[in-house]
Every structure is written in C-alpha cells, then in structure tokens.
Amino acid sequence: MPIVIGVDRHRSTVSALSCWSARGGSLFRCKARWKNLFAFVFIATTTTAAAHAQGVNWGGVVVDPQAFALPGVSVDLRTVDGNFVATIPTDREGRFQFTVPAGTYQLTASLLGFESVTREVAIGAPTRDFRIELKLGSFRQEVVVTATMPELAMEVVVSATEAEQRAVRDVAEHLRTKAGLSATRRGPINLEPTIRGLQETQVAMFVDGTRTYAAGPARMDSDISHVSPHTLQAVRVVKGPWALTWGAGALSAVRIETFRPAFSGGEFVLGGRVGANYAQSGDGTDGFAGVWGSNDRARFAVYHNTRAANDYEDGDNNLIPGDYESFDTRWTAAFKPNAATTIEYLGGYQEQRDIDYAGRILDATFFKTHSHAGEVTWRPQASIVSEIHGQVYANLKDHLMNNDEKPTAFDMLGRIPPFGLRVELPTESDTTGGRFYVMLDQGTIDWKLGTDLTRLEQNASRSIFRRSNDSLIFSDIVWPDAGLTNIGGYAQAIYAWGGGQLGATVRVDALDASAGVVSDFFSANTTGSINQTETNVSAAVNATLPVTGAFVVSAGVGRSVRSATPMERYSDRFPSTKFQTAAEFMGNPALRPEEALEVNVGSLFQVARASITADIFYRTIDNYITVVPDQSLPKRLPLSPNTVFRYINGSEAQFAGFELQAESDLGPYADVSASYSYVWAEDEELNEPVFGIEPFEQRYAIQAHTRDLQRWIELGVTVASAQNRVATTRLEQATEGWTVLDLRASIALGRGVSVKLGVENLTDETYATHLNSLNPFMRQRVNEVGRSSYLGLEYGF
C-alpha cells in the first residue's frame, strides 16, 4: 500500500492513526503525532504537484448517440502498458481535462447504461476538442460517494458492479463497506445507514429524487429499505450539509437512483438480465429479472426481485433469528414528444413478510410500499435556460408488527403479567410532495433555482391482548395522526474557471408540525403547543481547485437544520430507536430544530500508479436532540424498565473525524487498496460520548484480475477497533474489536453469462458491529453472520 515510503514515515502514519483508537482517547490527545502525519501529507502532495507541473492541458467532450453532452462520465487515463495515470469525471457540459506529460496513453470512458469506450491517444499539443461518443449498453450499477457538495465537487466512483458481486441483501449492507459509512442492524435485512456519526433522520434519504421515510416508529426499516439492490443505477452519499438542493434537513444525505435505460440513437434496442444468488448461511435465496428497451423517442424498464432467508448462524454456531421474504417490482416508462422534452413515470411495489427482528421487542408481519412519481424535464439547446424539471410523487407505506415469537407471547411465572400477551401495532407512513427547479447557464456561472414541498403523515396505534382468551388489556396511540409539512426554496450558484469551481447554496424552509388527539397524560406532562411552526435557514459554500491534473484540493463549510421527528415530538412512553434500551421515552412537542455547522477539507492526489484521498471534518450540532432520565414519569408497561426518558434539546454535540483512502495498481493484473476512518463525538449536555459512534476502522483489499477486468479474485480484510467511548447514561455498551476476512471472485464466461462466488467471514469470527442493536430480552448485540459461502449466476443481453 504505497501511502508512505520509508520506515520513519510509516511510523509517523501508524502512530497518528493508532492514537485515535486508544481507549478513552481525546480528540486533542495526539496533536504531536498528527503534526507528523500532516507534515508527511504536505510534503507528499507538494512533491506530487511539482512533479506534474510541467504537463499538457489536454481534454475533450463525451456525448451520447444523440450528440447530447454526458456529465458524470468516468474518464480513465493509463499508460499503454496499463499503468494508472489519472481518473476524472466529466462536468455538466460533458467536458474533461487532464494535465499530463506528452506521450501515448490508453483512454477509457465509462458511464452507467452505456458501453465503455477505450482508445489509444497521442497527447501532444493542448486541446479541449477530443470527442468521444458512448453507445447504449447493458444494465450497470454505480455507487458514488461525494465528500462535498453535489454538482460542485469531485466524486469518488466505486466499482460499477460491486453491489452485485457481493450478493448483498439490501443497499445499506453494501454502503457500510465504504469509509465514513456504517449501518445499524436490527434484523436480517433493512439495515439503517449512518454517515460520520449521523443517524436516522439526520441523514436525509431520497429515491429517484423523492423524499421517503421509515414505515414504522420502531424503525424496523430505514427510509431507503424498500428498494431492491438489483434495481440500483446510482447511489450518491453526501458526507456533510452539502445536499441542500435535494431537500430539507440534510445534515448528510443518501440518494438512490433506480435503473432507467438511456435513449438510443434511433432503432429500438432491447436488453435485459436474469440471475440468482444463493447464500449458504440461512439458506438465503435471491432471484431477479428485468427487461428494458429504448429508441430515440421512448424507453421503458420492468424489474422484479424475490429474496428470502431463514435463521442464520454466527461464528459460535448460535442461531440468530433471520427469517424474511421480500418481493420487489419496479417499472419506468418515458417518451420524448420533441428533442428537448422528456415525460416520465416511475412506479414500484414492494411487499415484505414475516421478518424476524432479534434487535427489537417485536417482529414484522409485513411491509407494503407503493411508490409513484411523474416527471417532466425540458433541456433546450443553445439557451440561457439549460434545464427545467418538475416532479410530483407519493411514497405510501403500511406496516404491521407482532410479538408471536417473542418471550412476551408465552406464559412465564414470576413475570408481571405472568400470562402471554398478543401485541398488534399497525402503522402508516405516507409521504407526498413535489419539486421544481430551473438551471441557468450564464457562461462561467451556472445557477440552479428551485423549490420543493413535502408532506409526511404518520399514524400508528398499539393494542395489547391476553393471548389465551384474546381479551383486550389496553390500547394506545403511538403516532397520533402526526404530520409534518415542509416548503423550501433554494438558490445555488457555481462559478467555474479552468479546472476549478466555487459554489454556494442558500436554502430557506418553512415547517408546520401537527398532531391529532393525544392522551391526557401526554398533555399534562409536556409543555408547549402540540402544533408548531418553524422557519429554518441553511447555507453552504465549497471550493474545488485542481492544482495539477494529478492533485485536487477541496474545502467547504456548511450549515444545515434538521427538525424534530413525530416520534421525538409526540412519543407517549414508547421505546426509542436511537438508544439501545427497551425503556419508554416521552416526546417533547416544543423541541427546537438541530443546527449543524460543518467544515470539511479534502484532497485527492495521484502519483505514479497510486491515488490517495484524504478528508477531515469537524461538526457542531446546536440544540442537539438527546434524552435524559425523568424520575417524575411513571412507566406505562409493567415489562418496561423503571426509568422513563424524556427527549430534550441538549446544549451542543461535537463531531470530528477523518477518512484516508489509497488505491494502487501492482501492474496490469493486480490492484491493492486501503482505507481508514474514525469519528470522535461528544455530547456536551451530558458530558459523555454521543450515542452510537462507530470505532476506528481499517479496510484492506488485494485483487488479481485479467487485463480486461472480466475475471478477478479478491481478498478483503476489515479490522474494527474496540469501542469503549460509550454513552453510559443512556445504557450504551462497549464492544470488542474484530477482524474479518472475505474472499470474492467473479468470472465472465462470455455471451453475457457471468458467475460470482465467495466466502464471507473466512475465519468464522463471532462479532457484532458497534451499531448493531441489542437483543432487548438478552441485552446482547445482534451478531453478524459466521462463515458463509455464496454463489451467483447471471445472464445479460
């Protein structure tokens, strides 16, 4: 891993990294060691910049079969021997530019939905006119991790088919393999993504531009759980408050884009794929099929996926509840009445049944999700208006929970009550909305002006019966016809010069929170009006400067505001999802919104065959929503812990951390990569760590492959340190460190047929990530899968 050269530099780097993971370590304890690391990074980057200063500015444009510019194309430059030189994405006008020494190179341009193009190019005199046309290709997937503002800063593009090759069961399970990202496991699927210590609605989540929320108050699902991993076209993860044009409350953000085929150049083109995966642990089965077609005026796609599994074993052969069934269907259809206009409809239906949740006091009977969106996009040629886009949508979710296989369903002498209970908890979570924006091109300055509207309506009730005779013991309201309506508007400006960019966004939101009938107990034990209004202002500025074609620096500062959720406002002694205890929590309708301020500095530099990316951030959250024990509140259920907690606005929470990533070729047939990530966070109100912060994590991989990357085998190693910085006031438990090895391979057999296979957790390690939920009855974290092999077969045409 060519991050460092020489023994002394290696010691400085390892020493600086290891100090973050020391038990009870302070943010400022390792200042001297970090000076050594920063000195090395500065020397390395300036040396790299100097080495590439004398180069040729050479670039061009990438277009589709209809001669429209293609933004976001990954343009890869290598030597004729296959050694890595540089990679850069095209901008919104489809343009790219390298600064490299004169010579002969191999250039590859690739974009999801198109066939890759590889050419040998002779770079001599400077130019901006090299033209590449991409033809329509087969289904592909991309995962994009953006460290800074979308549409402004550089993007790191992860392997095009990585989610498929890992045979993952949901999106968050794949995202947690990336530096700075993690996920909370409560059951076998529907993991909850986290970003740099931010959780749940602190991470705004979108599907095809639409806002979506979890289906139930127990968050057995996340906002993006109800999308099959096989239908992904792109996943964009924004680490920080830079996604202000996406929607309100985005302290960080995840945006899923499902597959839409590109319009072809003329004749109707038909494509598709069919495949199946099998995982040995839990007898997991996963079948998928899709078909799509397009010409220059119309396109369509239909996709279906069926997934199922049983209980799985951890490394000690303990059986972990893991039953589930999931049925997903998505479709899209679009037509172009003229060359500039596209009208599109996107729809989807997912039903999940009989899901075990070892990390919850209940299981899920079902989830049912209906998704619909209509869009109109106008992109005129040779106009100051580059794009006008409008969308309306509805995401409708129904959910039912039960306790049929939980200890509370059975008689137990000495317990109060001693007889078995039957719990029913039906919920509805419906999100409707729309968005509209105009993009203007004024030469060196691009503008984006837009507005969006979101209406969230959530209803949930709980009924508890004596199981033996089905007599009702009591019922209560969990979500009391709760509603949040947010209207927002924003303006974004991007100034570009040479290869650099400076961008700024300002956003203003007006929010109305309301609820229906609440209990007399809730009214008597809370303050403030049930209905609340807010006006929130968010803003961000970001700069990206390519020092040379091989060295890019970016920096940004942003402020984003997140309003309290219906659960935080209106919970009437109901368990919380952010804290690992089955205690009851009391809402607070007068909660003020969280106000996050974040600074991010990053750099990307490429030297010889290696690329190194570094990101450092510091974040404060004022009015941080946390909880404190309230001894004046009696618990509602006899089985609950005696202490009831209340949601409050704390004074402040501080977060700081880094991600360091490196990749390198070992010649044309092998690659290595490494990443390091860490988050430190402190709740100033309680003078203890913020709840649910992942520990220092290291990831390494070495891959051997054919020159065309159609056949490869990879060994991956993940090392997580122990996490002893825990929120003891909120009953958080420490976790031990662990090391897991995974072996994966993929083989293209030809004629569209490919095979994937692997063994996860090779050493059969027994472990749980720090964010995994506790089993509420055993007070132990839900363990991950032990050693498990998988096999997959796919045919595409």
In angstroms, the CA 573 to CA 33 distance is 47
**How do residues 364-417 score in pLDDT, each as one tens digit?**
999 999 999 999 999 998 889 989 999 999 999 999 999 999 999 999 998 989
| Of 258, 173, 257, 216, residue with least CA distance to 368 | 216
Instruction: Determine contact, residues 314/329, Cβ cutoff 8 Å.
Output: no
Q: What is the pLDDT of residue 782?
A: 96
For residue 23, what pLDDT band results from cuts at 50, 70 and 90? Answer: very low
The domain 142-796 having CATH identifier 2.102.10.10: the answer here is no
pLDDT tens readout for residues 428-474: 999 999 999 999 988 788 899 999 999 999 999 999 999 999 999 98
pLDDT score at 352: 98
Q: Which of 27-36, 412-421, 444-453, 720-729 has the lowest mean pLDDT?
A: 27-36
| Backbone angles phi and psi of 98, in degrees to 5 | -115, 150
Query: What is the distance of C-alpha 484 from the center of its chain?
Result: 23
pLDDT at 603 > cutoff 50: yes
For the stretch 411-436, pLDDT in tens is 999 898 999 999 999 999 999 999 99
Is the separation of the CB atoms in 286 and 309 below 8 Å?
no
Tokens (6 digits) for 529: 């009006």
Confidence grade of residue 632 (pLDDT, cut at 50, 70, 90)? very high
Q: Poorest-confidence range of 7-21, 165-179, 283-297, 589-603?
A: 7-21
Q: d(Cα 516, Cα 461) in Å, to the nearest integer?
A: 13
| HEC-encoded secondary structure of 707-764 | CCCCEEEEEEEEEECCECCCCHHHCCCCECCEEEEEEEEEEEEECCEEEEEEEECCCC
Lowest mean pLDDT across 35-49, 274-288, 370-384: 35-49
For 416, which DSSP code?
A: S
Distances from the Cα of 436 to the Cαs of 127, 133, 247, 344, in angstroms? 37, 30, 11, 15
- Reported as a pLDDT band with limits 50, 70 and 90, residue 7 is very low
CA distance 475 to 462: 5
Question: What is the structure's pLDDT at 9?
Answer: 30
Residue 710, pLDDT score: 85
pLDDT for the residue 151:
54
Token pair in block for residue 379: 């992109």
The number of CA neighbours under 13 Å toward the Cβ of 440 is 9
Is the predicted pLDDT of residue 478 greater than 60, yes or no? Answer: yes
Lowest average pLDDT, out of 346-355, 468-477, 556-565, 601-610, goes to 601-610
The pLDDT score that the predictor gives to residue 755 is: 95
Give CA separation, 247 vs 253, 356, 609, 708, in Å. 9, 33, 39, 40
Full-prediction pTM beyond 0.75? yes
pLDDT at 79: 79
The 203-207 sheet, strands edge to edge:
155-158, 142-146, 232-238, 252-258, 203-207, 210-211
Q: What is the pLDDT of residue 88?
A: 77
Cβ-contact 194, 179 below 8 angstroms: no
Answer whether 613's CB lies under 8 Å from 5's CB.
Answer: no
Say if residues 201 and 249 touch (Cβ distance below 8 Å).
yes
CB 72 within 8 A of CB 109: no
The pLDDT assigned to 14 comes to: 35
Angle between helix axes 31-51 and 7-20 (nearest 10 degrees) is 130
> For 551-585, how does the pLDDT look when each residue is reduced to its tens digit (9 = 90+)?
888 899 999 999 999 999 999 999 887 776 778 99
pLDDT level of residue 641 (50, 70, 90 thresholds):
confident
Tens of pLDDT, residues 202-228: 999 999 999 999 998 888 999 999 999
Query: For the chain, what percent of residues have pLDDT higher than 90?
Result: 61
Domain ranges for the chain, please list them.
1-51, 142-796
Mean of pLDDT values over 655-682: 94
Order of all β-strands in the sheet with 644-649: 572-574, 584-586, 644-649, 625-629
**Rounded distance between C-alpha atoms, residue 562 and residue 124, angstroms:** 52
Q: When comparing pLDDT for 55 and 482, which is higher?
A: 482
Mean pLDDT of the chain: 86
